[in-house]
Amino acid sequence: MFSRRSRGPAGPDLALLVALTAMILASAVPSEAQDRTTPGETVSYSTIHSIGIEWGISGDANHNATVTVHYRAPGTGPWKAALPLVRVDNTYNGNGFAGSILFLDPDTTYKVRLDLSDPDGGRDGSRTLTVATRPLPTLPTGGRRFHVVPGSGGGNGSAKKPFQGIAAAQAVARPGDTFFVHAGSYGGRPTFSVPGIAGNYIVWMGAGDGEALFVDGYNFGASHIWVEGLTVRDQAFATFSLDCPSDVVVRRNFFYDNHYNIYLQRGGEGWYIADNTIVGDVDPASGSFDGEGIELNGSFAACGANNHTVAHNSITRVADGISTPGTNVDIFGNDIFDTSDDGIETDEGQTNVRVWGNRIHNAVHNAFSFQPQIGAPWYFIRNQVINNLEDINKYRQWDRAVILHNTFVHWGDLTTGGAHGLLMSISRNNLWISVNGGQIWWGFGTFDWRTDLDHDGFDWGDSTRPFFFNGTTYTSLESFSAGTGQEANGIRISHQTCIPTMDVPGDSPTTVPPQYLTLAAGCPAIDAGAILPNINDGFRGSAPDLGAYEAGRRLPTYGPRPNASGEDDDDDGDND
């Protein structure tokens, strides 16, 4: 096979050298065939308002393939565009694409069309999927109605002879029943352990005649149960989940001075946690890492923490407002303020975690946490964040994130711990503001196929070092763009003229009053954004505005909603 001629005692065989060189080059440089894409299997799933998609591929070593997304409800006319799927290539997702369609109607069946293309060739692919969003939970109709008061047994559940205590009521419970829990103190830490069935909950509801106080807390121990209007105070653990219950509704409850509040300690799937009021026992100035508002328990629970919706809760005086989602989780409309650690600790989150329309003020350490980000992508859309001692995003172990239309405000430097994670992010139409003038981004790493930053607005005041990457200080957007190829359409603004109503009285942990950082007329951030299908449809003017709010659109509701159904029509993220 190889010539046996030698150039001397120590000389290599020329043919062998040529062969080895060819092998090394072939392994070091992707071949044309490695750049071509072959589509694999698709997976889809949903929440109440979102659809998630994953599409595996082989090839595309240069990561330049794309997948466009269109959707429609059957019989509703033309296809609508959504954001493209995000290119992912990591240990958890593997080689492929993943992404979401957001702000959809509940309980609706959609057609989804995916079109894969690769300029290097290969097998282009088109797939049409049928995916139904989950229904918004509704109270049972036509079921039995019972009354409950504190006690230790007896009663028949009528208004005149109510059940004495939760145990007596549970002895007769069946799907569709509603138990009106009257004012008083209920001891013994009951477990709601009798399950309903899909579409027909067993409901435990405060009767509205005073505080229904569970003095030792309570546990969620069955699927298809609904708990509303109950109060827990002064507990180390206000609630637990037991045995991984699914389809649990936790709505309009009250938690005061507890250390852990809604805690899926033994996991759970597909919960709806909405419109609750949580005031914990943690001093925000302490910087404590212990004591949670809503702990989904992510991959720590044996059964996972997937398919949840966590919406419009008011959360304060805890370490983390909301923590550790799994896969396919929506977190929106929450009002989170004065927390000692992070606002939304997305740690342990996997694919298609979506965080939109939340207001986070004075989360002392960070607004969002990537510690770690296991799967990708994660979405952060139209959130308003003010005041952290550390970062907007706590980058510890991260992957691709999609960061759109947020308003981020820091007292001084925005990224005291580094912006390395932005090198793997897609960023559009955000406002990055330093109140007192400070650095916006700094970090070390590679700008590559994962980096896509543009159309953002910045205010760094008098700082002479707004951007620093890999040993180079960039003193302007122009120099940053020339040096990195990013933010070609970024703009500089002044918050004094763009947001004259901004009230940030001091650095964290100074309390920041509730506010909406809307744009004043004449601000250059108005009509300066990129058009993003499914994200800013219906914008006013010639282009979308930067930041969390579109000028002239209705402002969103943060925290518990006033209407009795617990669901408003402001959950689509675009302030319509």
Length of the chain: 576
Band (24; pLDDT cuts 50, 70, 90): very low
CB 574 within 8 A of CB 537: yes
Instruction: Give the CA angle between residues 413, 419, 385 to the nearest 5°.
Output: 60
Residues β-bridged to residue 263: 295
Mean pLDDT throughout 363-367? Answer: 94
Q: Which residue has the tokens 């709806």?
A: 272
Candidate CATH numbers 1.10.760.10, 3.40.50.720, 2.60.40.10, 3.20.20.60; the one for domain 36-132: 2.60.40.10
At residue 20, does pLDDT exceed 70?
Answer: no
CB 442 within 8 A of CB 467: yes
Rounded to whole angstroms, how far apart are CA atoms 312 and 568? 10
pLDDT computed for residue 420 by the predictor: 86
pLDDT computed for residue 30 by the predictor: 54
pLDDT computed for residue 113 by the predictor: 97
Contacts of 164 (CB under 8 A, 6+ apart): 149, 150, 151, 152, 153, 154, 155
At residue 120, does pLDDT exceed 90?
Answer: yes
CB 294 within 8 A of CB 330: no
pLDDT computed for residue 396 by the predictor: 86
Q: What is the CA radius of gyration of the chain?
A: 27
For the chain, percent of residues with pLDDT exceeding 70 = 91
Lowest mean per-residue pLDDT among 55-59, 236-240, 306-310, 346-350: 346-350
Q: How far is CA 86 from CA 52, 69, 295, 349, in A?
A: 11, 11, 28, 16
At residue 517, does pLDDT exceed 90?
Answer: yes
At residue 36, does pLDDT exceed 70?
Answer: yes
For the chain, percent of residues with pLDDT exceeding 90 = 84
Q: Which residue has the tokens 């510690």?
A: 371
Closest to 339 (Cα-Cα) out of 323, 326, 355 = 323
Mean pLDDT throughout 520-545? Answer: 97
Q: Using the CB atoms, write b or e for 180-202: b if 16+ within 10 Å.
A: bbbeeebeebbbbebbbeeebbb
Rounded to whole angstroms, how far apart are CA atoms 171 and 168? 5
pLDDT computed for residue 572 by the predictor: 57
Mean pLDDT throughout 65-94? Answer: 95
At residue 356, does pLDDT exceed 70?
Answer: yes
At residue 575, does pLDDT exceed 80?
Answer: no
Q: How far is CA 176 from CA 194, 195, 241, 480, in A?
A: 12, 10, 21, 61
Task: For residue 88, give both structure tokens.
Answer: 């992912």
Chain mean pLDDT for the chain: 92
At residue 68, does pLDDT exceed 60?
Answer: yes
Band (419; pLDDT cuts 50, 70, 90): confident
pLDDT computed for residue 22 by the predictor: 45
pLDDT computed for residue 573 by the predictor: 59
CB 192 within 8 A of CB 222: yes
- pLDDT tens-digit readout, 198-220: 999 999 999 999 999 999 999 99
DSSP letters for 124-166: -EEEEEEEEPPPPP---SS--EEEEESSSS---SSSSS-EESH
At residue 33, does pLDDT exceed 80?
Answer: no
Rounded to whole angstroms, how far apart are CA atoms 317 and 114? 44
At residue 342, does pLDDT exceed 50?
Answer: yes
Q: Half-sphere exposure of 516 toward its Cβ, with a 13 Å CA cutoff?
A: 16
Lowest mean per-residue pLDDT among 233-247, 291-305, 469-483: 291-305
Rounded to whole angstroms, how far apart are CA atoms 278 and 339? 11
